[in-house]
């Protein structure tokens, strides 16, 4: 299927999703957001999918939301745009398979928010990240005030949001905004390496781990532990659990089926 401003490559259970609107540094306008929604909606139907790598074409991951589109919005339109972006980024955060952000360049504003909606972020040593919305007289609208504080802590998030400072990849790594920094030319190779490692694991258990973390971190510990126990129990009704434990006992590599 063709998507406006987005390219999708799917091979051996790994999807590479590339935002390609290079003339605008991959800025998020309504068309890009709609395409992102459609891409992840369709990928969720792929029974053999193991992992997704999300990146940007050219020199930018995503330079932000499209300022030209937003300039003349009234408050009603601005709220609708914000809620639309939040809904799509929630869709990515809740996607049943791991989503790796390959942050190849600028990840600013909406781009940083998009990267934060992924499960983890591998950054090029040339990447720059930040939430500079205060320079435009607005706040982040796609989850930046919430996900940033959850990732890096309240004080650092406030500093970045209040100053609008754009930071380099090494600083982003230091504060926990990205999880690894790698040479630009090796970025996709490293992301693919991680995706292939994940692809060899039990896909049901990987998905359940993601669900347990995403839900559990928002609720009290005792309730979260109960949820973990339920997911743990459910894995014992799967082929993958039987195969995984049998393979361990037989000292061989498990052949998971995602069943």
In a domain, 135, yes or no: yes
Judge contact between 207 and 235, C-beta under 8 A: no
State the CATH number of the domain containing residue 244. Answer: 1.10.12.10
- Residue 122: inside a domain, yes or no? yes
In a domain, 259, yes or no: no
Q: Quick one: 138 and 71 in the same domain?
A: yes
Q: What pLDDT, on a 0 to 100 scale, did the predictor assign at position 1?
A: 67
CATH number at 166 reads 3.90.226.10
Question: How many domains does one find in the chain?
Answer: 2
Residues 51 and 119 in one domain: yes
Classify residue 58 as exposed, middle or buried by CB count within 10 Å of its CB (0-12, 13-18, 19+).
middle
List residues with catalytic annotation.
113, 133
2 pLDDT band, cuts 50/70/90, is confident
Let me know whether 99 and 209 are in one domain. no
- The token duo for 26 is 């991959």
Question: Which structure tokens are listed for 30?
Answer: 């309504």
Residue identified by tokens 């590339």 is: 18
* pTM of this structure: 0.95
pLDDT at 219: 95
| Parallel/antiparallel/unpaired status of strands 99-103 and 51-56 | parallel
- The alpha carbon of 41 is separated from its chain's Cα centroid by a whole number of angstroms, namely 15
pLDDT tens per residue across span 98-131:
999 999 999 999 999 999 999 999 999 999 999 9
Domain boundary among the residues 199, 216, 236 is at 199
C-alpha 111/C-alpha 118 separation (Å) is 11
Q: How many CB atoms are closer than 10 A to CB 61?
A: 30
Q: Which residue has the higher pLDDT, 226 or 2?
A: 226
Residues 55 and 41 in one domain: yes
Q: Is residue 256 included in any domain, yes or no? A: no
Domain that includes residue 186, residue range: 6-199
CA separation, residue 124 to residues 59, 168, 172, 189, 190 (Å): 11, 10, 11, 11, 10
Sheet of strand 106-108, all strands in order from the earlier edge strand to the far edge: 60-62, 106-108, 128-130, 166-168
Among 199, 214, 238, give the residue marking a domain's end: 199
Domain-located, residue 210? yes
Cβ(100)–Cβ(191) below 8 Å: yes
Query: Would 225 be classed as within a structural domain?
Result: yes
Q: Are residues 192 and 212 in the same domain?
A: no
Comparing CA positions, the residue from 39, 13, 73, 46 lying closest to residue 197 is 13
Q: What is the mean pLDDT of the chain?
A: 96
pLDDT band of 140, cuts 50, 70, 90: very high
Q: Assess if residue 78 is contained within a domain.
A: yes
Shared-domain flag, residues 112 and 188: yes
26 and 119 belong to one structural domain? yes
Within this chain, do residues 214 and 114 fall inside the same structural domain, yes or no?
no
Specify the residue for token string 């339109």. Answer: 77
Quick one: 140 and 215 in the same domain?
no
Residue owning tokens 């692809």: 199
Give the pLDDT score at 180: 98
47-51 mean pLDDT? 95
pLDDT in tens, 58-80: 999 999 999 999 999 999 999 99
Rounded average pLDDT over 164-193: 98
């Amino acid at each position: 299927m063709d998507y406006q401003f987005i390219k999708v490559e799917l091979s051996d259970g790994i999807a590479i999703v590339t935002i390609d609107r290079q003339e605008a540094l991959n800025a998020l306008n309504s068309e890009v957001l709609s395409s992102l929604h459609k891409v992840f909606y369709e990928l969720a139907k792929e029974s053999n999918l193991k992992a997704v790598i999300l990146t940007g074409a050219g020199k930018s991951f995503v330079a932000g939301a499209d300022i030209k589109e937003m300039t003349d919005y009234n408050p009603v339109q601005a709220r609708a745009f914000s809620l639309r972006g939040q809904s799509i980024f929630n869709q990515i955060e809740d996607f049943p398979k791991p989503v790796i952000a390959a942050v190849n360049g600028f990840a600013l504003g909406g781009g940083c928010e998009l990267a934060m909606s992924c499960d983890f972020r591998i950054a090029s040593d040339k990447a720059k990240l930040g939430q500079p919305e205060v320079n435009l007289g607005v706040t982040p609208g796609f989850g930046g005030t919430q996900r940033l504080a959850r990732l890096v802590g309240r004080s650092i998030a406030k500093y970045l949001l209040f100053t609008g400072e754009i930071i380099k990849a090494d600083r982003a790594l230091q504060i926990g905004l990205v999880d690894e920094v790698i040479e630009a030319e090796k970025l996709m190779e490293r992301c693919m390496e991680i995706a292939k490692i994940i692809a060899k694991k039990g896909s049901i258990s990987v998905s359940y781990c993601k669900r347990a973390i995403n839900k559990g971190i928002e609720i009290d510990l005792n309730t979260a532990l109960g949820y973990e126990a339920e997911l743990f129990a459910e894995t014992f009704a799967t082929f993958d659990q039987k195969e995984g434990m049998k393979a361990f006992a037989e000292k061989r590599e498990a052949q998971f089926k995602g069943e």
